[in-house]
């Protein structure tokens, strides 16, 4: 992976790709430098998302996005692929929440979507081989969900990533507040994506 791709790694926590770089943990910064987003098999990527216990996530409520934006004379070059993640069972104690009010959902790229990410990886590699200048980014976002009790006025999100079945989940962002990191319009846009849970979604 090129150093320019590493330096441009963006970890986001909200539906509008809100940058959460200010909340990346020290371990996350180290992990970001060791990630190989262009060389990792998409089927080997797993993510975990921590949200308040009053919020439930379902298939499609979290998103993984990889992108490349040209710079300088190559500013017109842009590649992007976003896929909705599917939830998978998590072993007890596999990931420790950041506090008693947080619970963690484990997710992966669906089998029928790994090909689109792999295609983008190859496209970016070809751009690099052709000396196209630009910056790459990865984003893990919460794009929906439901809540129990009163409607939330904020959403805190933690994220982890795993790049292989034998690798540990590395914490990236930790209990980041949308309200504290963005403006009111963005907060409202994020919260509007949450709806009251049906009774069978509240557990």
Q: What phi and psi, each to the nearest 5 degrees, are found at residue 147?
A: -135, 155
Q: What pLDDT does residue 5 have?
A: 37
pLDDT for residue 198 is more than 60: yes
| Mean pLDDT of all residues in 134-158 | 89
Is 200 inside any structural domain? no
24 is a domain residue: yes
**How many domains does one find in the chain?**
1
Domain containing residue 122: 3-195
The predicted model gives 13-17 an average pLDDT of: 32
Instruction: Report which of 42, 41, 30 is spatially closest to residue 6, judged by C-alpha positions.
Output: 30
Residue 46, domain member (yes or no): yes
Residue 126: helix, strand or coil by DSSP? helix
Whether the CA torsion 18, 23, 28, 29 is positive or negative: it is positive
pLDDT greater than 90 at residue 35? no
In a domain, residue 201? The reply is: no
* Contact between residue 104 and residue 156 where contact means Cβ atoms under 8 Å apart: no
Query: What is the spatial distance between Cα 40 and Cα 139, in angstroms, rounded to a whole number?
Result: 15
């Amino acid at each position: 992976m090129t150093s320019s791709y590493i330096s441009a790694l963006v970890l986001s926590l909200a539906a509008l790709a809100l940058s959460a770089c200010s909340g990346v943990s020290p371990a996350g910064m180290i992990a970001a430098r060791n990630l190989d987003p262009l060389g990792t098999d998409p089927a080997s990527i797993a993510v975990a998302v921590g949200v308040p216990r009053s919020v439930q996530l379902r298939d499609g409520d979290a998103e993984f996005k990889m992108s490349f934006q040209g710079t300088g004379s190559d500013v017109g070059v842009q590649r992007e692929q976003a896929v909705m993640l599917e939830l998978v069972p998590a072993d007890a104690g596999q990931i420790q929440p950041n506090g008693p009010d947080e619970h963690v959902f484990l997710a992966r790229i669906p089998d029928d979507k790994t090909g689109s990410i792999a295609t983008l990886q190859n496209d970016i590699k070809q751009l690099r081989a052709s000396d196209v200048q630009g910056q790459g980014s990865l984003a893990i976002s919460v794009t929906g969900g439901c809540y129990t009790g009163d409607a939330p006025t904020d959403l805190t999100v933690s994220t982890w990533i795993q790049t292989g079945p034998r690798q540990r989940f590395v914490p990236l962002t930790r209990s980041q507040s949308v309200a504290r990191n963005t403006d009111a319009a963005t907060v409202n846009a994020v919260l509007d994506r949450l709806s009251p849970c049906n009774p069978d979604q509240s557990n």
